[in-house]
Amino acid sequence: MLLTDAKTMQELDRKTIEDLGIPGIVLMENAGRGCTEILLKEFSPGLEQGCLVVAGPGNNGGDGFVIARHLSQKGLSVRVICLCSLERFRGDALANLNICQGLDISILECADETSLQANQLLFDKSGVIVDAIFGTGLSRNVEGHFARAVDMINDSSAGVLAVDIASGLSSDTGKVLGCAVKADCTATMAMAKIGHVNWPGRLYTGRLHVVDIGIPASFVSGAQIHAEYFQEEEFSACFKVRPPDGHKGTFGHVLILGGSRGKTGAVCLAARAALRSGAGLVTVAAPRSSQFIIAGKLTEAMTEGLPETPVGEPSYHASEILEELYERKRAVCIGPGLGLSREAEIFCQEVIARCPLPLVIDADALTAVAGAQEVMRKGTAPRVLTPHPGEMARLLDVSVGEVQEDRIGAARKLAQDNGVFVVLKGYSTVICSPSGKVAINSTGNAGMGSGGMGDCLTGIIGALLAQDYSAWDAARAGVYAHGKAADLLAKTTGPFGYFAGEVADWLPRIWGMAGRS
């Protein structure tokens, strides 16, 4: 699903009205009618108790007037509260206000907190509330009686439909601008917006519906749109069907570097996930004192011993055998359980700078490059970085709060400054390419907040790279499959308490689902 921002959406509206000649009032009518259809589908029992439309001063309020008219014409009880003087309405919104007044639909003017509070009962008694306060152009914090209206909507027991976007959300980032309506359902116009699905906007959007208001598909395809919501359809589209005569050599050999003393579980999880993701062969290269432990845990993977330091981490001399390790491999993963000593750091930087193969960089390897990002720019093959917010903060030398404030901006900066692919993990994981393309993932749940999940993702992406997926497809499909496997576990096992290894073991089901689509 393509995602747009406020500026692009406004330009699409303008082109449709001015270049194609479809009047704005027709677009508003289409929007209101489409929202009404969604209301009837999603909230039928609640509508029998009555509907309250809370309208703001712009075209979002105009959409609310159209909704009120359609509900009234279906014999349903509907009232409208306007959060501004009725004299403020202009153009298409004013035309629809006049129609509502002509039909004797109840419209109350609540332009201050006192008058709004006097109508508290309408919020309490309505079965459904339509949030038509602010649209996608909001850029300032919600304050005053508008903020009070948001609170009254959120405090009610009514079902809530947001028109276009939940009032108080930035459509470009999903950031809460002071306060925001928590909708059960959102009906957005023409295209989904980044703010609907990016953190934390996804928490306020509820079930998302896209209403066709008449903007031509050719206008959308011609727009500069660089973001997508990665769902089942996109996952299936990039899935590669395996040839029936394929063998272990066909499906690639993954090399995983890590597993220092006391951290062998990390590389074992990465290897397990790589094998569960279809890699033909997997080799784990770890310090020699860890090699036998890893070999005992992994029946299906091979192991290589690396020269090591006294504390069981890769030594300077481990770099001397890299060329040998790369032979006949198609992808490399580095970081799970690698270690943080100075020698391990130098070894890691050498791999990242010189590895001729697609490379996944995670965990301790991200720490190793945090102060030496120039090594990432030396590589000739794709690099995929998979930081969590703390690791991203170290890479950008900012606070975790700053990363979370603008997750897309943070991922874009790291990707574009260093020519790498970035997977910023977390709720609504963000994937960004060196060109600035963005995908926001749709799968995953809070039960994934446990040790080893990141190692599992590293192995998945490494396996897809070894099977000749592009770095962009490997990152997006890997993140989706990882989250989807966890979602199925959450449904069958419980919302939390499942292990990263169990997620890996569910991966074949996910690949099977993609193959059947």
Given a contact cutoff of 8 angstroms between Cβ atoms, the answer to whether 34 and 212 are in contact is yes
Query: What's the pLDDT at 454?
Result: 97
- In sequence order, the 6+-apart residues with CB closer than 8 A to the CB of 456 are 269, 270, 272, 273, 482, 500, 501, 503, 504
Angle between helical axes of 59-73 and 91-102 (0-180°, round to 10): 30
Query: What's the pLDDT at 379?
Result: 85
Using CA atoms, how far apart are residues 443 and 232, in angstroms rounded to an integer? 9
- Give the chain's length: 517
Structure tokens at 267: 């590389």
DSSP β-bridge partners for residue 159 = 128
Helix (H, G, I), strand (E, B) or coil at 301: coil
Q: What is the pLDDT along the chain (517 residues), one digit of tens a residue?
A: 999 999 999 999 999 999 999 999 999 999 999 999 999 999 999 999 999 999 999 999 999 999 999 999 999 999 999 999 999 999 999 999 999 999 999 999 999 999 999 999 999 999 999 999 999 989 999 999 999 999 999 999 999 999 999 999 999 999 999 999 999 999 999 999 999 999 999 999 999 999 999 999 899 888 888 899 999 999 999 999 999 999 999 999 999 999 999 999 999 999 999 999 999 999 999 999 999 999 999 999 999 999 999 999 999 899 999 999 999 999 999 999 999 999 999 999 999 999 999 999 999 999 999 988 899 998 889 999 999 999 999 999 999 999 999 999 999 999 999 999 999 999 999 999 999 999 999 999 999 999 999 999 999 999 999 999 999 999 999 999 999 999 999 999 999 999 999 999 999 999 998 876 5
| 190 half-sphere exposure, CB direction, 13 A CA radius | 22
Find, among 180, 95, 192, 110, the residue nearest to 138 by Cα.
180
Using CA atoms, how far apart are residues 29 and 437, in angstroms rounded to an integer? 33
In angstroms, the first-to-last Cα distance of the chain is: 17
Using CA atoms, how far apart are residues 105 and 445, in angstroms rounded to an integer? 44
What is the torsion angle, in degrees rounded to the nearest 10, for the CA atoms of residue 345, residue 348, residue 353 and residue 354? 140
Contacts 24+ apart (CB under 8 A), 9-13: 9/136, 9/171, 9/189, 9/190, 9/191, 9/193, 10/137, 11/223, 12/190, 12/191, 12/215, 12/219, 12/220, 12/223, 13/215
Angle between helical axes of 91-102 and 24-42 (0-180°, round to 10): 60
Q: Which helix (H) or strand (E) holds 256?
A: strand 253-257
Query: What's the pLDDT at 517?
Result: 57
Using CA atoms, how far apart are residues 390 and 86, in angstroms rounded to an integer? 49
Helix (H, G, I), strand (E, B) or coil at 367: helix
Structure tokens at 365: 């390897």
Using CA atoms, how far apart are residues 119 and 53, in angstroms rounded to an integer? 13
Q: Domains (ranges, CATH) in the chain? A: 2-225 (3.40.50.10260), 245-516 (3.40.1190.20)
- In sequence order, the 6+-apart residues with CB closer than 8 A to the CB of 512 are none
What is the pTM (predicted TM-score) of this model? 0.92
Given a contact cutoff of 8 angstroms between Cβ atoms, the answer to whether 369 and 344 are in contact is no
